[in-house]
Amino acid sequence: MAMTDYELPCERDVDQVWQRLDAVGAGLADEHELTCPHCRAARESLLALREATSVLAAEEDVPSPDLFGRIMSAVRAEVRRGSMVPLPTPEPGFVEVSEQAVAAVLRYAADTVDGVRARRCRVRADGEGAIDVELTLAVRWGIATGGAALPMVRERVTAAAAARVGLPLGRLDLVVADVYGEPE
Amino acid sequence: MTTSAEPATPLDDATLVSRARDGDVRAYEQLVLRYQGPMFRLAVRMLADRGDAEDVVQEVFLNAWRKLGQLGDDAAFAGWLYRATTNRCLNAIRARKPQADVDLDTAESPRADLQPERAAQVSGQLAALTAALAQLTPEQRACWLLREVHGRSYEEIGEVVGVTATAVRGRIARARAQLAEVMKPWR
């Protein structure tokens, strides 16, 4: 079926020639293709185009080295701080930590479990000196039911909250949202 | 089952996107490093101007950061970037003054990693292709680049330019026929 108005003098269409390029290259040319000079010329042009295209696609043209820095400083200027969680302190005044900072520590703790990647992490102060956490995870194929991995995540996240943030976990919800990697 | 340590494996897009949405700048850095190259190459080929292309890429990534919350499917991040980059390029071209059309000072210098004769031939072909690309309409050029250079699907390209997948196929076929005509002298 012709997709273009680029008809050759032999009434075949350039797109037809393109569709048949590999077949003809493999020696499966029909009678017309063997003899028609228009088709042959079109094939040669299309082959030249295909070669140039693969060179273009393989090009590793990179932006100037400072583009990454420009992008990231613009991004950092708009960092969403989110809410704060109060930390226990015996001193007068208060100490707060951002939920994002807590989330980063907890995600890191979950990541240390083999076959687990932490994704979204919601942290909320429960109002009684502890935090409630909902942690979304991706797990590797084969341990989709959690196996030993999820109890280990629970253990490490709980330990990290207490030891590295200084806040006890009130509640920890683990949500397995995705599976990554290939079936074995 | 592999036993390789987790941090050595690059994280998948969906994981990085969901962390970035939580405000994790480090995760977003990795996404920028992963995709700034392809977006830049698309923009350079669309705009034929490296400075304009970098501006587009910077805007795309800043805007993507702002709008991460609106991305429905975390795994669709790459497609989302391709769409944003294409649209910004098309807008930039529309905003250009009519006569200020593509000036091809992006012509390739001979490649040092090839034999001289072969390098000259490759450079010649690339230069011809670059010049021919500039003769396509911006929409045709976008369709052709997204498909033939970046390997995106007809459906996805259709969503980017607002036509059906079948229409995209037609546009690409016409673009290919037009490009092939210009390639003739190089054989």
A7-63 pLDDT, tens digit per residue, is 888 888 888 899 999 999 888 889 898 899 989 889 999 998 999 999 899 988 899
Is residue B105 over pLDDT 50?
A: no
From A28's Cα to the closest Cα of chain B, the distance in A is 22
Look at B41 and A61 and tell me if their CB atoms are within 8 Å: yes
Please, what is the Cα angle at A32 between A31 and A33, to 5 degrees?
95
Mean pLDDT in chain B?
84
Look at A119 and B40 and tell me if their CB atoms are within 8 Å: no
**Which segment, A14-28, A54-68, A84-98, B45-59, is predicted with the most confidence on average?**
B45-59
Looking at residue B118, its pLDDT comes to 65
Q: Which residues of A touch B29 (CB under 8 A)?
A: 72
- Strand-pair partners of A175: A136
Alpha helices in chain A (DSSP H): 14-19, 21-25, 31-35, 37-58, 66-76, 99-111, 149-160
- Largest Cα separation within chain A, whole Å, is 94
> Which residue of B lies nearest to A80 if distances are taken between CA atoms?
B23
Looking at residue B69, its pLDDT comes to 85
Mean pLDDT in chain A?
87
User: What are the percentages of helix, strand and coil residues in chain B, rounded to 5?
Assistant: 75, 0, 25
Q: Which residues of A touch B170 (CB under 8 A)?
A: 3-4
- Strand-pair partners of A132: A124, A171
Give the three-class secondary structure for B12: coil
Look at B129 and A56 and tell me if their CB atoms are within 8 Å: yes
Q: Is B113 exposed, middle or buried (0-12, 13-18, 19+ CB in 10 A)?
A: exposed
Q: Is the ipTM of this complex over 0.85?
A: no
Q: What is the pLDDT of residues A149-178, one digit of tens each?
A: 899 999 999 999 999 988 899 999 999 988
What does chain B come to in residues? 187
Please, what is the Cα angle at A158 between A157 and A160, to 5 degrees?
65
Phi/psi for B59 (5° steps) reads -60, -40
Looking at residue A138, its pLDDT comes to 92
Task: Name the pTM for this structure.
Answer: 0.79
Look at B128 and A71 and tell me if their CB atoms are within 8 Å: no
